[in-house]
Structure 1
């Protein structure tokens, strides 16, 4: 069952937008690490994906020349990006080769500057030259295909093969040479490889192998796909070159073709689909290598936590309990939090028999863990006194040396409640003046609590 034409256009537009979003996600940390090859790869493929999405939306069901200047820019950029991706792969392979064959741990600033200038000359200079040379073999201004948008136009002449079709093959062969030499150096110096990678502050061991894998796949696909493109174009008749006056005749015209017209030509359909899905495939391939890595997941967690804190949503952090900025809870060391019950410790100071019934009892209360973030006590000794028991001994038995447990059976006091003290208790202060128990259970006392 064939997919309807407009549905195919929407699928290409959706995947082009998805490719643009995914390939731009790792851009920040590649800029931070000064990975020139990866930044150039993101620039060429990401921008081409964005242009492809815009063209698919604007010219989804029409072939009207809405924006001539826009079409001039995008057609020239398409020529440059098709060669710029190969140049970015060459920059990556060249850098990996120099890292694998480095003889000194430290690199001077002048060497770094020289390497960056060389990388930019390869990754930006060569594509710009190819854009300028496009005029040499260009037939007329551009074409507009319904459902595709602005496309470059040039006849199938030997100038096109010389200045456009063969460039990816030549660059791919140079990249393949660097890739083979890099693998050879790696197996030769694999014992010292960790030290070599550590000499580069912006490169880790795993990132090096991801770069190598991306560059190797680019090399493996660049040469076969470029060869296939040449074979497909060779099936059409070769345009004889009779001079630039003939080649550029009526140079400013714009051919506007409906979907019914250009889709009736199998060679044109194959060329359009090849160009569209090659860009999408390169974007998804880059994201699989660098968008799912450990440093990428770390940035995702940081971004998610930042957004959650801004909107007040709850988050779970490793090693902590539940936290919510909106409800006032803080991360805890376990999932259930810490709950500390205040302890009542009686001092071991010897007193007289009558002092046992006085109001000068010493109690050590620990409530440090029961204070919330606002400084208010969340636990009161009054609330926990319901389950406590107090043992009272007779003064006569105490003077005779009889223990309280032998003289009287334990008496369990009923639950009592009283308001909290007006000020916090200081363990270093003199003996407390407040009563520990109500006057009703204290003999020989008429104080009222």
Structure 2
């Protein structure tokens, strides 16, 4: 049974939005790794998916020219993205070729800057030139199709083939040459390649081969699809006889609007529009499968999930895997509070010596006001600190439970080896056992 037209439009719009979201997920770590080719790929295909979604929402059930400036911008972006994705694949293959043929492990800053400018000239410069040449073979301003939105319009002239339609073929051939040379160099110089991978934190074997796989697939599909597009255009529409720009630009500012019933009466136009809609969606999903499901991507997802969980107070598994932690004051598998012991002291300026990693359950004012004076402490002059439950027997006798943990029984720890001068003012944080020092703040 055929799907109703409006339902099909909603499905196309939903997948366009999904493609934009999926391809945008790996953007951060590609920016962090300075992968210019992948960033350009995300920009062109992600922008195309987003524009499709907006167009389908605006012109879901009408073909009224309600946003002419938007259509002027987006039709030219469509021209640029058709060339931009091919150029992004070329940038990726070119970078992989230079990595496989590098003669030195490190590169100077000038070399990196030169490579960056070259990649940007290829990935952005070529599409911009293609947009600038669009005026010479453009028929009129643009067309609006119900359920699709605004699209560029140009007659089937030889200028269109020369200045736009055939460009992916030479770009794809150059990219395929780089890809072949990269594979050849990789197998011939594997040892030096291993040294390069060991010295580069932003590139690993898995990421390298994923980049190569993405670029190779783009090359394999770019040239055949371009040839198929040319053959279909010649079969469906005859070559328009070029009589000069005056004839080509006759009534140049007009906008043709077509209802869904009108343009869907042509099976050839239906195939063209389906290919136009689903090609960027497929490229976006393909990119996400290569980079959005990798190991480093899963690590980013876990970090993001943990960060969000901490902000909203949801309990998550800690890194050690021994228990759960949350933003509340209770920790561990149960709800029992760890017994806290505080050494007696009468000096009021001693709170400055508390480590910022100690438990925040301790009330400094209560300790200073409620603890009695002890002659044995008068000569120590030490700062107030959390004493170890495994200190010497004398030190344990001078310890009392914290005022905020009076409901917790004192644990009778076994007698440890005698510690030299446990009340020394120079006592370091290393004397505090790891069971308290490492879980003082994490378990709050």
> How high is the TM-score relative to the length of structure 2?
0.76
Q: CA deviation at 1:380?
A: 2.1
Contact 2:75 2:152 (8 Å CA) reproduced? yes
Q: Which residue of 2 aligns with 1:188?
A: 188
Distance 1:214 1:36 in 2: 14
- 3-state secondary structure, aligned to 2:40: helix
Q: CA deviation at 1:365?
A: 6.1
Q: CA deviation at 1:217?
A: 0.9
Q: Which residue of 2 aligns with 1:322?
A: 324
Distance 1:368 1:199 in 2: 53
Q: CA deviation at 1:199?
A: 4.0
Post-superposition Cα deviations, 1:69-117, rounded to whole Å, max 9, x if no partner, equal 0000000000000100000000000000000000011211111111011
Question: Against the structure 1 CA distance between its residues 60 and 28, is the aligned structure 2 distance closer, same or farther, given a 3 Å change threshold?
Answer: same
Q: Which residue of 1 aligns with 2:148?
A: 148
1:386-405 correspondence to structure 2 within 5 Å? none
Please list every run of 5 or more consecutive structure 2 residues that lacks an aligned counterpart in the other structure.
341-392, 413-421, 424-444
Q: Which residue of 1 aligns with 2:102?
A: 102
Q: CA deviation at 1:118?
A: 0.5
Rg bigger for which structure?
1
Q: CA deviation at 1:337?
A: 9.0
Q: CA deviation at 1:363?
A: 9.7
Distance 1:199 1:136 in 2: 49
Question: Against the structure 1 CA distance between its residues 341 and 271, is the aligned structure 2 distance closer, same or farther, given a 3 Å change threshold?
Answer: closer
Distance 1:151 1:168 in 2: 20
Distance 2:255 2:399 in 1: 81
Question: Against the structure 1 CA distance between its residues 370 and 112, is the aligned structure 2 distance closer, same or farther, given a 3 Å change threshold?
Answer: farther
1:278-427 correspondence to structure 2 within 5 Å? 278-320=279-321, 321-325=323-327, 327-330=328-331, 332=332, 335=333, 376-381=405-410
Contact 1:141 1:153 (8 Å CA) reproduced? yes
Q: Which residue of 2 aligns with 1:355?
A: none
Q: Which residue of 2 aligns with 1:12?
A: 12
Q: Which residue of 1 aligns with 2:53?
A: 53
Q: CA deviation at 1:370?
A: 8.5
Question: Against the structure 1 CA distance between its residues 157 and 336, is the aligned structure 2 distance closer, same or farther, given a 3 Å change threshold?
Answer: same
- 3-state secondary structure, aligned to 1:144: strand
1:426-437 correspondence to structure 2 within 5 Å? none
Question: Against the structure 1 CA distance between its residues 43 and 380, is the aligned structure 2 distance closer, same or farther, given a 3 Å change threshold?
Answer: same
1:18-167 correspondence to structure 2 within 5 Å? 18-167=18-167
Q: CA deviation at 1:297?
A: 1.2
Distance 1:299 1:367 in 2: 48
Q: CA deviation at 1:191?
A: 2.8
Contact 1:23 1:284 (8 Å CA) reproduced? yes
Distance 2:45 2:399 in 1: 59
Aligned length: 360
Q: CA deviation at 1:200?
A: 3.5
Q: CA deviation at 1:318?
A: 3.8
Question: Against the structure 1 CA distance between its residues 112 and 275, is the aligned structure 2 distance closer, same or farther, given a 3 Å change threshold?
Answer: same
> How high is the TM-score relative to the length of structure 1?
0.76
Please list every run of 5 or more consecutive structure 1 residues that lacks an aligned counterpart in the other structure.
343-361, 386-426, 429-449
Q: CA deviation at 1:187?
A: 1.0
Q: Which residue of 2 aligns with 1:175?
A: 175
Question: Against the structure 1 CA distance between its residues 65 and 197, is the aligned structure 2 distance closer, same or farther, given a 3 Å change threshold?
Answer: same
Contact 1:214 1:289 (8 Å CA) reproduced? yes
Distance 1:7 1:141 in 2: 29
Q: CA deviation at 1:144?
A: 0.2
Q: Which residue of 2 aligns with 1:352?
A: none
